[in-house]
Amino acid sequence: MIHGFCFVLGVVLGLVAALLRRYGRASGITLAGAACVLLILAAAGLVHTDAREGLATLEANRRQYLFVLACELPVLVLALVSFERFKKLFWLGWGIHAAFTSCVVAVVIWLEFFWHW
């Protein structure tokens, strides 16, 4: 349950970061914090696996955690670089985060409403 809350918190913080752009460094800090939350969750998921779930589930989870790492690691780097000089890199990082969020939302909608057992 706490993993889901932290994941939603990371996604929402990343989207709210664009609204904080007028407050100076607050937007970069928020975007970096959102990326850190998602990276910590992905790293924890890669390290702590439960063998009772089955090999196919473990492999699917590993691929998804690697997808989160691949999407959010550049976001963290771009958010940290945008603190000082390169202010435009914030928007590149935010765009990557928004694309990741839209992928997650599309999968959740697909699984919830269109994938019938």
What pLDDT digit, counting tens, does each position of 60-101 carry?
889 999 999 999 999 999 999 988 778 889 899 999 999 999
Q: Which two tokens stand for residue 98?
A: 């928004």
What does DSSP assign to residue 88? T
Q: Helix (H, G, I), strand (E, B), or coil: what is residue 82?
A: coil
What is the residue range of 54's domain?
2-114
| Residue 99: per-residue pLDDT | 94
Q: How many domains does the chain have?
A: 1
Confirm if 94 and 17 have CB atoms less than 8 A apart: yes
- State both tokens at 92: 């590149």
* pLDDT band for position 51 (cuts 50, 70, 90): confident
pTM above 0.75, yes or no: yes
